[in-house]
Amino acid sequence: MKRNGRATIRDVAAFAGVSLTTVSDALSGKGRLPDATRDKVLEAAQQLNYRPNAIARGLRSQSLGLVGIVIAPAEAATLSSVWYWASIATHMSEAILANGFAPVLLPHNAATLTKLPIPLDGALLVDPLDDDEVLAYFRSENVRTVTIGRDIRNPQGPWVDEDNEAGVAELLRLTVKPGETVAVVTLSARKSYVVDGLRGAERWAHSVGSKLVEYRCKSFDDAEVDQALLQVRQERAKVILAQNDRLASKLLARLKAAGAEVPGDVRLISATDAPDLQHTEPSITSLKQHPERLSEIAARTLFDVLHGVPTQERQLVPMEIAFRRSAPAVGDG
């Protein structure tokens, strides 16, 4: 028994009167020992309350079974303020644990990661930015990584995503009459879901001959959002497509503050969903995401990569539309 208070494999060997190898084999079920020997060892291990030292084991295998989870933040948002991320983090955790690995919650910051010498077996990166520094860091450190969304300037490596392009195109097809002008309000285009959503909107606009105008807000500030809305009005757009749920909520609040009727004067749709959007007044039509499914697929893909199983470079999950009061399906009136 060592100072630590914990039995080592040596103690077990001595106690059972066998060699180290025998203990190791007996516990890991490797070599084919006689049942009698094995039982004796198991018994000894039990008695001594022996638990193999994970670090020592890791030193040999150069793996501790740790998988990093990194979520790239957006403007002034954190995991706790964005339903989608909290949901992703939860489900990723579960998927990682189900595979016998442990999830480590890491910040989207290469400098911090460099200083934090944690030996990761792999990583899941949510919503990478363009030229994502963390993704680059993982590559340089040889940490296998699967992303949800992709680095638009550097889209190598396996990734998983909602099919934002098709989703937005379909959303517009079902909520906007051909010919109506649509204003797209965005915050930044550093993430692939924004780029893909815009592409979907353009594709739709082309196909039905609608006009599409884009406004980019610098922040969620009232002044910024009001400025965008002013331009929307000048263009006489009948529909506003918000890049995401938080922006949609904000736009709705400012529209109401300005006395505009939704959906009477202008309709509002959001390219991402969140529980909040059901409870606004009026509730907001949006595209539903699948954090649980994406998390599972991403984890599955990562473990395939780690085990050398060939994987698909990209996997897209179709989105669904949640019709709500801010923009009913065309034809519904």
Partner DNA sequence: TTGAAAGCGCTAACAG
Partner DNA sequence: CTGTTAGCGCTTTCAA
Per CB under 8 A, 4 contacts a copy of itself: yes
Comparing C-alpha atoms, which of 135, 129, 127 is closest to residue 157?
135
Residues 270-299 that bind DNA (CB under 7 A): none
Q: At what angle do helices 20-28 and 35-48 cross, to 10 degrees?
A: 90
| C-alpha gyration radius of the chain | 26
- Strand pairing class (212-216; 239-242): unpaired
Per CB under 7 A, 2 contacts DNA: yes
Partner from a copy of itself, DNA, none binding residue 87, C-beta < 5-8 Å depending on class: a copy of itself
Alpha helix (H) ranges present in the chain? 9-16, 20-28, 35-48, 54-61, 83-98, 110-115, 133-140, 164-175, 192-208, 222-234, 245-257, 291-306
142 Ramachandran zone, left/alpha/beta (phi>0; psi -120 to 50): left
Residues 20-39 that bind DNA (CB under 7 A): 20-22, 24-25, 27-28, 30-34, 37
Per CB under 7 A, 64 contacts DNA: no
Among 1, 19, 75, 102, binds a copy of itself (CB under 8 A): 102
Partner from a copy of itself, DNA, none binding residue 310, C-beta < 5-8 Å depending on class: none
Stretch that binds a copy of itself, among 76-84, 168-176, 189-197, 317-325 (CB under 8 A): 76-84
DSSP letters, 230-267, are HHHHHTT-SEEEESSHHHHHHHHHHHHHTT--TTTT-E
Per CB under 8 A, 106 contacts a copy of itself: yes
Per CB under 8 A, 328 contacts a copy of itself: no
DSSP state of 158: -
Binding footprint of DNA on the chain (CB under 7 A): 2, 4, 6, 8-10, 17-22, 24-25, 27-28, 30-34, 37, 50, 52-53, 56-57, 59-62
Binding footprint of a copy of itself on the chain (CB under 8 A): 4-5, 51-59, 62, 64-66, 69, 78-80, 83, 86-87, 89-91, 93-94, 97, 100, 102-107, 112, 115-119, 141-142, 276, 279-280, 291
